[in-house]
Structures are given as structure tokens and as C-alpha cells.
Amino acid sequence: MNTKIWLSSPHMGGTEQNYIKEAFDANWIAPLGPNVNGFENDLERYLGQDKNVACLSSGTAAIHLALVQLGVILNDEVICQTFTFCGSSNPIAYQGATPVFVDSESETWNMCPKHLETAIKDRISKGIKPKAIIIVHLYGMPSKIDELLKVALKYKIPVVEDAAEALGSTYKGRQCGTFGDFSILSFNGNKIITTSGGGAMVCNTEEDKKQTIFYATQARDNASHYEHSKIGYNYRMSNISAGIGRGQMEVLDKHIGLRRDMNAFYVNLFKGVKGVEVQKQPNSDFYSNFWLSCILIHADAPFTKAQFQSVMEDANIETRPLWKPMHMQPVFEGALYFGDKLSEGLFKKGLCLPSGSNLEQKDLDRITKVVNDLL
Ligand SMILES: *Cc1c(COP(=O)(O)O)cnc(C)c1O
């Protein structure tokens, strides 16, 4: 059997172990230390815009702490892109708040500014102003940020920017992860860079960063004993994980280049195949890291999605349907939803394809052969 070709597997650059060795040598194994500070500095430098970064245990933890700091509490409503991974929306439930799901537009597959405004108007007309808006840059594709922020600003609702999949993507030349009142990143094992598990909060002020770290380290008040006037969480990143992150930062841009090459490979592979559409950037304002390359298989394609999935599986090549929209998930049954079912169509027609920066020519040849045999 051929070895498995994964959608996206960890790709080490080579220097990660040096940072970990330093941590061991200095006995900085606790969840603080020079690698955490170093990784935060690296991210701040990379993102620009004078941001303040706090490294956390996961991207989901970062979204949770963003909602905590925006004052989201029991029975509040929070607007969230429906076409996303559950890490974007579950923290709404952690706070006992209610999600209001908003559908996507067809160009970036991210939140539609028009549906967003419809949702806000509806909720305000019912006397419930949403406490926050969670926007996502799915698969690395920047959302229509200017238009979304304009709506958010008009109604004065803070934005949590979920850039978990979009580190290194830019919108009008500015890094994703720098547009929100709070923005979050993920370094989970399958993301564009990994710390084996981790995330970060990107804050606008030093004060927000301090507050994020306060909540992420059990909310200890200023006292020599353990004094608490708030509920905190154990969400800080360890110095070992941060060491992996520092090594990964050295190869981030190179790996983005390789992911973008993967996207170009698929554009070429499906060139001239009627009914198969590779996700693309709408125009030069949108620069995607192409974390995952995705295709839509329309009704006029020469094969069905099921046929394609099946031949790929037989060849030991991973594919995966696009995210199942949150308003279709059993756990969010009955949740409010505003849209025109675009995301349901994407879910029905779409697949993610192997996109890792560590794929080799022989992997591409295997994928090419499977597709050509099917055609
Ligand atoms: C991965 C991901 C998250 C959560 O990040 P974790 O680090 O896995 O908790 C949130 N949102 C999106 C869109 C993601 O892809």
C-alpha cells in the first residue's frame, strides 16, 4: 500500500528542537519562559500594526477569552459565521450565550456583509443587540473585511476575528489577524504552522494583552497568596510548545509559498475539466495562504463528488468535505440563522484536497494519476 497523503500534516523546519533543547537546558518547562516571550515577539513583528500577542493553549481558548473580555454572558446573543469549524462557535455556548448564525457570500465563502446587516437589524428590532460578531477567514481566504467592519462599526458591535486558518494571508496588504477588536490564531497540528497544539490572542493594546494573560492564568489578583475576584482559566501556552512555534516562524513564509504552489497545481490539474472549480482569490485585494486547497464539484462535472472521494480513498489520498455549516449541526439545532443557504451548497459540493507544504513531486504525481484515470 502507498503511504497516506494527508490534507495537511505538521511540517517541521528543522530548528524547532534547538529552542526546545534550550528550554530543557534552562529548566524552563513551566508555562512561561523565554520561548513564550520570543514567540509572542516573533508574531508581533510578523503581524505588524503595533499588535500585542498573548500565546494560549488553543485557538478555541482564544475565542473564549475574547468573548469573556467583551463581556458576553448568559443569554447574550453573539453573531457567528455559520460556515466554519466548531472552534469558532462553541465558546459562545461556554458563556451560556446564544449563537446567531450568518451565511457566506460566494466570492470568499466567508460571512456575507448583507446577511450580517439583516441579522443585526432583526435582532435589534426584537430588542436584543448582539454582543459580538465572530468573522472567519476560512481555508486561509480573507473575508470581505472592509465591508464587514463597516457594518460592525455602524451598529457599534465589536468584532472577534478568527484567523485560525489565515496566518500569513493578507487583505489589501494587511495581515489577517490584525483587523478585530480581538483576533485569534491557531497552531493546532494541521494548521499552517503548529506548536503541536496552541493558539494566540492578538490584542490592540498592552492592557488587553495583560488582561488576556490574567484570565489565561487562573485570574490571580495582585497578592502574595492566591487571591481571586474573577473566574479564570488555565489557557496559557507552555514554553516547550512556544519553542516549536519559534522554529516554525522561521519557515512560515516559505511554507505559505509551497501551499500556494499546491493551489496552482490544482488549478492546472483541473484546467479544462468542466464543472470542477478550484477556490480562487476574488481579486488582488485578497491574498490567501491557501492553507487548504478546495474544489467544488458541480452537477455538470464528468464525475460526482462521491466518485472522486472514493477513488482518492482507494489510492490512500485524504480528502474531506468542506465544513458542515453550524446551523445544520445537531448541537445547534433550532439556532437562529440568516442567509440563503449558500454554505449548504458549498458543503454539498465541496472537498478539501491534500495541501501540505511537505508534499513531494511523487505525491503530486499520484494525485495527478488518480484524477487522470478517473477522467
Ligand atoms: C482550528 C480552528 C479553530 C480552533 O483552533 P484550535 O487551536 O484547534 O482550538 C477555530 N476556528 C477555526 C476556523 C479553525 O480552523
**Which residue shows C-alpha cell 516571550?**
37
Same domain, 330 and 242: no
Same domain, 156 and 270: no
Same domain, 83 and 223: yes
Interval 289-300: pLDDT, tens: 999 999 999 999
Same domain, 243 and 128: yes
> Which of 126, 73, 86, 78 lies closest to 102 in space, CA to CA?
78
Same domain, 220 and 76: yes
**Which of residues 209, 226, 249 is at a domain's end?**
249
User: Burial code of 180-200, b = ≥16 C-beta within 10 A, e = fewer?
Assistant: bbbbbbbbbebbbbbbebbbb
The total number of structural domains in the chain stands at: 2
> Which of 263, 322, 318, 267 lies closest to 288 in space, CA to CA?
263
| Nearest-angstrom CA–CA distance, 1 and 213 | 48
Asked whether residue 74 is assigned to any structural domain, the reply reads yes
Report how far apart the first and last C-alpha atoms of the chain are (Å, whole number).
23
Same domain, 227 and 161: yes
353 C-alpha to ligand 1 centroid (Å):
18
Asked whether residue 216 is assigned to any structural domain, the reply reads yes
Asked whether residue 316 is assigned to any structural domain, the reply reads yes
**Which of residues 207, 227, 249 is at a domain's end?**
249
Interval 168-183: pLDDT, tens: 999 999 999 999 999 9
The CATH number assigned to the domain holding 177 equals 3.40.640.10
Tell me the β-bridge partners of 287: 170
Which residue has the CA at smallest separation from atom 10 of ligand 1?
87
Same domain, 56 and 161: yes
Tell me the β-bridge partners of 276: 297
What is the Rg, in whole angstroms, of the alpha carbon atoms belonging to the chain? 21
Same domain, 179 and 263: no
Asked whether residue 131 is assigned to any structural domain, the reply reads yes
373 C-alpha to ligand 1 centroid (Å):
35
The CATH number assigned to the domain holding 317 equals 3.90.1150.10
Asked whether residue 6 is assigned to any structural domain, the reply reads no
Q: Is 136 in the pocket of ligand 1 (CB under 6 A)?
A: yes
Which segments in the chain show pLDDT lower than 50? none
Same domain, 220 and 89: yes
300 C-alpha to ligand 1 centroid (Å):
33
Task: Calculate the CA dihedral of residues 97, 103, 104, 106 and round it to 10 degrees.
Answer: 170
Burial of 155: CB neighbours in 10 Å, binned 0-12, 13-18, 19+ = middle
User: Burial code of 279-305, b = ≥16 C-beta within 10 A, e = fewer?
Assistant: bebeeeebbbbbbbbbbbbeeebebeb
**Which of residues 190, 222, 249 is at a domain's end?**
249
Same domain, 355 and 259: yes
Same domain, 196 and 316: no
DSSP string over 340-374: -SHHHHHHHHEEEE---TT--HHHHHHHHHHHHHH
Q: What residues make up the domain containing 70?
A: 16-249
Q: Are 88 and 81 in contact (CB under 8 A)?
A: yes
186 C-alpha to ligand 1 centroid (Å):
6
| Nearest-angstrom CA–CA distance, 26 and 303 | 57
| Nearest-angstrom CA–CA distance, 65 and 56 | 10
| Nearest-angstrom CA–CA distance, 32 and 217 | 10
Same domain, 235 and 259: no
Confidence (pLDDT) at 30: 73
Q: Is 59 in the pocket of ligand 1 (CB under 6 A)?
A: yes
> Which of 323, 291, 301, 347 lies closest to 7 in space, CA to CA?
291
